């Protein structure tokens, strides 16, 4: 199995964004008459079973322009999240292995408005591009997002890995043909046979994965590794 490129989710996969974003979310929600009183752990618990946060925000959770407003405010404040430990080293290692990298984020904000943040994190020297739900506009989902990332790469899905922290993302793309890898930032219940604890483990994990025949479904998962 040869993986030529990797599509990487951003928030809670590469970067611990929620602690900083939560205050913005509270402000935005309040402007629309909603109260978000949950702390980070409570909100994460809801997010991983309900990614739109409809339990908290009701109909507002499905409003593209609400989320655009929130992410735009976050971007303009420039009080960014924190890169998870080992991520930059992993990205450097992946590039040295010849893997092409693209970020595909579910933010309802155009990547042109995110590039300064990506530069702040140190990601821009490793990635070929970025695509977001904000680029695609209202009415699109993560399946559309990954398809657009594949277009950027110009590669068939069978040689591309999609790496994300949310099980729902993998559910949406499972029929696409990408090699889907869950990152257990918070939850471990992924509809994929490949799960790691952190993107920091990705270079060593991919080395094991490339040794498997394409149709070999045998693997061993223990503490986030397969080898």
Residue 223: the pLDDT is: 41
Per-residue pLDDT band at 214 (split at 50, 70, 90): very low
Distance CA 138, CA 68 (A): 10
Beta-carbon-side half-sphere exposure of residue 126 (alpha carbons within 13 Å) = 25
Model pTM score:
0.91
Per-residue pLDDT band at 189 (split at 50, 70, 90): confident
Residue 216: the pLDDT is: 40
Signed CA dihedral, 26, 30, 33, 39: sign only? positive
Distance CA 7, CA 185 (A): 17
First to last CA, the chain: 13
Residue 10 corresponds to which tokens in the numbers above? 């951003």
> 172 vs 57, 64, 162, 167, 191, CA distance in Å?
22, 19, 12, 9, 10
Distance CA 50, CA 160 (A): 27
Per cent of the chain over pLDDT 70 is 91
As a whole number of Å, the CA-based R_g of the chain is 17
Residue 91: the pLDDT is: 98
Which of 49-53, 131-135, 191-195 is predicted with the least confidence, judged by mean pLDDT? 49-53
Percentages (nearest 5) of helix, strand, coil residues in the chain: 45, 15, 40
């Amino acid at each position: 199995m040869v993986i030529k490129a990797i599509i990487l989710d951003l928030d809670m996969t590469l970067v611990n964004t929620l602690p900083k974003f939560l205050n913005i979310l509270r402000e935005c929600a309040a402007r629309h008459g909603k109260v978000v009183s949950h702390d980070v752990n409570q909100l994460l618990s809801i997010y991983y079973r309900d990614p739109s946060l409809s339990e908290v925000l009701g109909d507002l959770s499905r409003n593209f322009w609400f989320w655009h407003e929130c992410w735009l405010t976050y971007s303009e404040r420039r009080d960014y999240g924190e890169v998870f430990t080992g991520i930059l080293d992993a990205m450097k290692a992946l590039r040295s292995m010849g893997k092409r990298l693209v970020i595909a984020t579910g933010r309802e904000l155009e990547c042109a408005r995110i590039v300064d943040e990506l530069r702040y994190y140190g990601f821009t020297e490793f990635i070929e591009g970025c695509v977001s739900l904000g680029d695609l506009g209202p009415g699109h989902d993560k399946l559309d997002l990954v398809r657009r990332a594949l277009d950027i790469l110009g590669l068939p899905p069978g040689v591309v890995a999609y790496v994300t922290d949310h099980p729902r993302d993998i559910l949406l793309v499972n029929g696409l043909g990408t090699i889907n890898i869950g990152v257990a930032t918070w939850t471990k219940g992924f509809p994929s046979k490949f799960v790691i604890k952190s993107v920091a483990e990705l270079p060593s994990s991919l080395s094991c994965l490339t040794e498997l025949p394409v149709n070999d479904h045998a693997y061993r998962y223990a503490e986030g590794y397969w080898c």
